[in-house]
Homo-oligomer: A and B are copies of this chain.
Amino acid sequence: MTQPTPSAAELDARDPLAALRERFSLPAGVVYLDGNSLGALPIGVHDRLANVIDQQWGERLIRSWNESDWYNLPLSVGDRIAPLLGVGKGEVVVGESTSVSLFRVLAAALRLRGDRQVVVTERENFPTDLYILDGLRQLLPSLEVRFWDESVSAAAVLDGAGVLMLTHVDYRTGRIRDMRELSAAARAAGALTVWDLSHSTGVLELDIARDGADFAIGCGYKYLNGGPGAPSYTWVAPALIEQVRQPLEGWLGHKSPFAFVPEYEPAPGIRRFITGTQQVLSLAALDESLKMWERVSMSEIRRKSMAQTSRFIERVEAECKGYGLTLISPREGQLRGGQVSFAHESGYPIMQALISRGVIGDFRTPNILRFGFSPLYVSFADIDRAVATFAEILRTDAWRAPEFASKQTVT
């Protein structure tokens, strides 16, 4: 057995983020490596929701729209996310699913590009991003979609394009796309950029305005720990926002929502990206979860994340050698987000066997074992335990038991 130096105990002892783990409610006996899909439960959420339900809704009823400022939650929650993107307060708004937010920004970006109705994206993008693009194309039959991949020059594909729409961190491999370089290529071609940050925010050190993003959206329930299906966020470059119109115009994005006038006029700033009345219970859970980022350094988050994913790769390759695993995440830390993925032809039953022993990652078709490392609550000891369990399952063929064979709807 390879004994890594330093030990997990030493690394945990000197981890400046280690105390944050105490702010989560984690089940006993579980190593949770799926925070890139659904983040763990922050302890404050239970009491916050009890208060929103019993006091704000139950006791104060309709008055809470003012008294508890439900009305501004989409913006105040956005202000908590802004520092994680490296952007300013008042630039981010929260609401509805990531897919709906993507539709809004994609249509808004195209509208700014006049007759350059061409969107460049990747065929390997997260599928819902492609579906949203396809749905928009139903409405805009002249919309042309082009696919880029690393085998061709971005500049060539971007020629004449209006929008470059990319996901920053790939959901299967964890590979990071170079936002600065690709945004510059888009700008040089006269195209605007739309970035999906779902697998980036909360685990990478982002500075999206510096790196040339024009629009960005992302998910509230992964590294942000906002709870199942937590609402998504939307950012638009301040230089563009006052000229932007998004197509899901609703009353709470209106300049004067309670004037009830028949003509739509967008609110100033990012508020115009609100459509209708937002789901306050889910917003409040996300708001509470985000409080723990207040004093967190994103460079420390990134440093810990790279150390953890590196250690996991090294230890799996040492302990699980010869069992047919292939690393499909980038080996170089700078190119890798917060997850590590291995391909294995029996990936599905192996992951089920891991989960049955309390090591929770997930499986993605066709053959990918994904492990996500949330620096707020994953310890180095967790990593060593996960690797030991992984090695044992492979060594003993435990994953060949019939109970691990059948695929369920969602993993």
Chain A interface (Cβ < 8 Å from any Cβ of B)? 25, 27, 30, 32, 34, 37-38, 40-41, 45-46, 49-50, 52-54, 56-66, 70-71, 95-100, 103, 107, 111, 123, 125-128, 130-132, 134-136, 138-140, 219, 221, 227-232, 245-251, 254, 258-264, 275-283, 285, 355, 360, 362, 364-365, 408-411
Residues of chain B within 8 A (CB-CB) of A59 are: 27
Are B134 and A260 closer than 8 Å at their CB atoms? no
The residue from B41, B46, B282 contacting A279, defined by CB atoms under 8 A apart: B282
Are B282 and A132 closer than 8 Å at their CB atoms? no
**Taking the full assembly, how many copies of this chain does it contain?**
2
The residue from B100, B140, B250 contacting A276, defined by CB atoms under 8 A apart: B100
Are B99 and A248 closer than 8 Å at their CB atoms? yes
**12 extra interface residue pairs, beta carbon distance < 8 Å, beyond A65-B409, A138-B249:** A27-B59, A32-B61, A37-B62, A52-B228, A97-B250, A98-B276, A123-B262, A127-B262, A131-B249, A228-B277, A279-B279, A282-B282
A247-B138 in contact given A25-B54, A61-B32, A71-B409 (Cβ < 8 Å): yes
13 A-B pairs with C-beta separation under 8 A: A27-B59, A34-B62, A38-B62, A40-B58, A52-B228, A57-B227, A64-B228, A71-B409, A96-B97, A125-B262, A134-B264, A227-B281, A229-B279
A131 vs B248: C-alpha distance when bound (angstroms)? 8
Are A107 and B139 closer than 8 Å at their CB atoms? yes
Are A58 and B27 closer than 8 Å at their CB atoms? yes
- Least distance between A143 CB and chain B CB atoms (Å): 10
Considering only CB atoms, which chain B residue lies closest to A38 in the complex? B62
Are B264 and A230 closer than 8 Å at their CB atoms? no
Are A249 and B135 closer than 8 Å at their CB atoms? yes
A27 vs B58: C-alpha distance when bound (angstroms)? 7
The residue from B131, B232, B258, B411 contacting A409, defined by CB atoms under 8 A apart: B258
- Least distance between A354 CB and chain B CB atoms (Å): 13
